[in-house]
Structure 1
Amino acid sequence: MNRTFWILGCTFALLAVGAGAFGAHALRARLTPDLLAVWETAARYQMYHALALLVVAFAAGRAGGGGWALAGWLFTAGIVVFSGSLYVLALSGVRWLGAITPLGGLCFLAGWVALLLAGMRASPS
């Protein structure tokens, strides 16, 4: 499982850098400042949680246990739902997509709780 989260973390980080550059260069002249800020928020949170996936991969490889996997899958779902909905909102301007964004935020929060609990359950080394 740690290999899966390592690959996901690296892939999401790569895509976050690309999304940030795309927003800064290609979208700056095409989006309103508020939609550009939405795009930047999506890329920023994607990067934070891509890095969290790398932490999950490292911790799962050292400590094992199911809590790490739960955290990893919650972070993955959060990236797809939170950042994905914000990217689509920024490009399309369809505001109702903002209604599903908080579900991704809840996945992020639950992922951090799962990571906390997994770390508390891990045997000290």
Structure 2
Amino acid sequence: MTARLLLQLAGVFGALGVAIGAFGAHALHDTLAKAGRLDTFETAVRYQFYHVLAMVAVGVLWAARPELRSLGTTGWLWLGGIVLFSGSLYTLCFTGITKLGAVAPLGGLLFVAGWLSLVLAVREL
């Protein structure tokens, strides 16, 4: 991973977050609400955006301080967290497959690991 790639991935996942969020809020709002999954959907979108914004901040820091290469680990962990946490919740909301909800905690662990890796990566600042 490079700072550029991290920022590009943040852009892609930010765009996906907007598209998925808009689709859910407009085209699927009533369906999600009737299924009792609107809160789950909104949680998935919210956590995706939190971590996309964090990826942008880390990417900018890494571009300014390229010697902090371990920031790449932080980016990968957050990216994995988005895919597993938000992705499993989106899948649950769109398909009703409840077994995939068990994947969400793994994504949550990746989010936490990413934040802890950030602590380690910037200890020399």
State whether TM-score is above 0.5.
yes
Aligned to 2:47: 45
Whichever residue aligns with residue 37 of structure 1, its letter is: D
Aligned to 2:97: 94
Give the Cα–Cα distance (whole angstroms) in 2 for the partners of residues 52 and 33 of structure 1: 31
Whichever residue aligns with residue 24 of structure 2, its letter is: G
Structure 1 unaligned residues grouped into runs of 5+: none
TM value normalised by structure 2: 0.92
Give the Cα–Cα distance (whole angstroms) in 1 for the partners of residues 21 and 44 of structure 2: 9
Deviation of 1:34 (Å): 2.5
Aligned to 1:71: 74
Give the Cα–Cα distance (whole angstroms) in 1 for the partners of residues 95 and 40 of structure 2: 12
Give the Cα–Cα distance (whole angstroms) in 2 for the partners of residues 27 and 56 of structure 1: 33
Whichever residue aligns with residue 88 of structure 2, its letter is: S
Deviation of 1:96 (Å): 1.2
Aligned to 2:5: 4
Aligned to 2:88: 85
Structure 2 unaligned residues grouped into runs of 5+: none
Aligned to 2:15: 14
Give the Cα–Cα distance (whole angstroms) in 1 for the partners of residues 14 and 35 of structure 2: 24
Give the Cα–Cα distance (whole angstroms) in 2 for the partners of residues 42 and 90 of structure 1: 10
SS at 1:121's partner residue?
A: coil
Give the Cα–Cα distance (whole angstroms) in 2 for the partners of residues 5 and 18 of structure 1: 20
SS at 2:37's partner residue?
A: helix
TM value normalised by structure 1: 0.92
Aligned to 2:30: 29
> Structure 1 runs of 4+ off > 3 angstroms?
none
Whichever residue aligns with residue 8 of structure 1, its letter is: L
Two-structure CA RMSD over aligned residues (Å): 1.2
Give the Cα–Cα distance (whole angstroms) in 1 for the partners of residues 104 and 80 of structure 2: 11
Deviation of 1:121 (Å): 2.4
Provide the identity percentage. Answer: 45
Deviation of 1:33 (Å): 5.5
Assess if the C-alpha contact under 8 Å between 1:27 and 1:36 holds in 2. Answer: no
Give the Cα–Cα distance (whole angstroms) in 2 for the partners of residues 66 and 51 of structure 1: 19
